[in-house]
Amino acid sequence: MAKNALSFVCQNCGAAFNRWQGKCESCGEWNTLVEEDVTGATTMPASIRSKRRGRLFTLETLTGKSNDAPRLASGMAEFDRVIGGGFVRGSVLLVGGDPGIGKSTLLTQATSLLARAGHRAVYISGEEAVAQVRLRAERLGLADAPVQLAAETSVEDIVSTLSEGAVPRLIVIDSIQTMWTDTVESAPGTVTQVRASAQALIRFAKKSGAAIILVGHVTKDGQIAGPRVVEHMVDAVLSFEGEGSQQFRILRAVKNRFGPTDEIGVFEMTGLGLREVSNPSELFLSERDLGSPGTAVFAGIEGTRPVLVELQALVAPTTLGTPRRAVVGWDPSRLSMVLAVLEAHCGVKLSGYDVYLNVAGGLRIQEPAADLAAAAAVRPVAQTSARLKEAAKLGFGRAVLPESARGDVGGDAGLSLNTVGGLTSLVADIAARGSPRGAKEGSREGAAEKNATPARFRRENG
């Protein structure tokens, strides 16, 4: 009968091998193979393996009535935006993030809001005792919300309990790494266990129509630990990010079967939990005087929202053979490319200087449109008028944009516009304007330059 099915499973990607080896051939990671008993995971019990004929089912058409409201909004606008407008019935979301970033806080708030609105919301903690979860809810001022709470780790027990009574609208499992199922022999926390537990919970979600949120831990290189495999199984993967030293947290969709993946939700961690930040532009502009050299404000688009961010550059004579290029919040290879363009076409000699570039507020910019703000190749920029409107709203008086974007401005943006045809004319423009504060030559050659001083800052600073 059943042979000994011991196998070696990579804890990073889930690939299985029949002998141990130092490096996983599938994902290339070292020392990730662990011996696991995968009996239940790969072979079916004999009772199910019987020679029965398949059940007949009816085939449906594309048109037809879908049963009621497919989405349920959580009531946290920033959360709902990222998931595409609300929780889809029977969908499973994975929320990843560093320990202590605020995943449990965010989900306690979301379940409490739903419960207060009269929906059945369940919070299962595998990491904290009920008393700890209560304590957090008390601190958040949510202790009165009728959330159903439990500290459990057995998937079978959880599924049986939640199958009773009304179908929950939202179930939070905090976290998937602490769950285990009887169907496989592996120890809790191993890939096989995590995968089997996730599978059982996903099956329950699809069958019952409840939305489930799985919390997943993240390894130091940003992967959702172990259950990379889980990422492929769920409907959406969200990542909750932030700089340790800053209060701002960004919720980002990495994958979403039911919505866009380029939206972000912005929160601020306060003593009373996470506060939604509905106007993130205020947040990514630093408090200090924007007139200082080496800063430029970039009007970016995150999803459907225009967001203003400040780029800060510092150029200093190098003491090393190879000058340093350090970047926070932007792609380092793009910086090298921009510097090469400046050097080759604009006569800005940077080979003797270290260049540091920082995106204020802890945001990560991915748009190539930011190249201009970082003094780069001038390319057409999409949704120009939305970006300009946001800048005008925040009191900026002047904007620099590519010639080709002139046509999309649409109406009076309320800004004085400088169009540039090429990078050389931008460099000439900046050089002609001179330094507002008599900055030294070296520091003015930064990759980012001051584009405009907002009226509100000008006023304050005379």
CB of 134 to ligand TYD, least distance (A): 12
Q: What are phi and psi of 203, to 5 degrees?
A: -60, -45
Residues paired with 224 in a beta bridge: 218
> Which tokens belong to 70?
């497919």
How far is Cα 104 from Cα 111, in angstroms, rounded to an integer?
10
Size of the site for ligand TYD (CB under 6 A): 15
CB of 243 to ligand TYD, least distance (A): 13
Residue 312 partner contact from Mg ion, ligand TYD, none using kind-dependent CB cut-offs of 5 to 8 Å: none
CB of 62 to ligand TYD, least distance (A): 41
Among 136, 364, 444, 458, binds ligand TYD (CB under 6 A): 136
Select 14 or 227, whichever has its Cβ closest to ligand TYD: 227
Interface with Mg ion (CB under 5 A): 104
Among 116, 134, 139, 444, binds ligand TYD (CB under 6 A): 139
Sign of dihedral through CA atoms 231, 232, 238, 239?
positive
CB of 25 to Mg ion, least distance (A): 34
Residue 273 partner contact from ligand TYD, Mg ion, none using kind-dependent CB cut-offs of 5 to 8 Å: ligand TYD
Which stretch, 100-108, 289-297, 346-354, 373-381, contacts ligand TYD (CB under 6 A)?
A: 100-108
CB of 227 to ligand TYD, least distance (A): 16
> Which tokens belong to 100?
């202590």
Is 244 a residue that touches ligand TYD (CB under 6 A)?
A: no
Is 454 a residue that touches ligand TYD (CB under 6 A)?
A: no
How far is Cα 23 from Cα 2, in angstroms, rounded to an integer?
29
Is 199 a residue that touches ligand TYD (CB under 6 A)?
A: no
Residues paired with 236 in a beta bridge: 93, 256
Residues paired with 266 in a beta bridge: 250
For the chain, the first-to-last Cα distance in angstroms comes to 87
Residue list 103-122, contact with ligand TYD (CB under 6 A): 103-105
Select 126 or 259, whichever has its Cβ closest to ligand TYD: 126
Among 10, 88, 101, 405, binds ligand TYD (CB under 6 A): 101
Residue list 264-283, contact with ligand TYD (CB under 6 A): 269, 271-273
Bridging pattern class, strands 305-317 and 295-302: antiparallel
Which stretch, 26-34, 59-67, 96-104, 429-437, contacts ligand TYD (CB under 6 A)?
A: 96-104
Select 81 or 249, whichever has its Cβ closest to ligand TYD: 249
Residues paired with 30 in a beta bridge: 23
Per the CB < 8 A criterion, the answer to whether 227 and 188 are in contact is no
Residue 414 partner contact from ligand TYD, Mg ion, none using kind-dependent CB cut-offs of 5 to 8 Å: none
Residue 272 partner contact from Mg ion, ligand TYD, none using kind-dependent CB cut-offs of 5 to 8 Å: ligand TYD
CB of 439 to ligand TYD, least distance (A): 39
Query: CA 138, 154, 74, 273: dihedral to nearest 10 degrees?
Result: 30
Is 97 a residue that touches ligand TYD (CB under 6 A)?
A: yes
Tallying the residues shown for the chain, one arrives at 462
CB of 29 to ligand TYD, least distance (A): 24
Is 249 a residue that touches ligand TYD (CB under 6 A)?
A: no
Select 217 or 387, whichever has its Cβ closest to ligand TYD: 217
CB of 200 to ligand TYD, least distance (A): 23
Residue 97 partner contact from Mg ion, ligand TYD, none using kind-dependent CB cut-offs of 5 to 8 Å: ligand TYD
Is 102 a residue that touches ligand TYD (CB under 6 A)?
A: yes
Among 22, 54, 99, 118, binds ligand TYD (CB under 6 A): 99
CB of 42 to ligand TYD, least distance (A): 33
CB of 268 to ligand TYD, least distance (A): 10
Give the residues lining the site for ligand TYD (CB under 6 A).
Answer: 97, 99-105, 136, 139-140, 269, 271-273
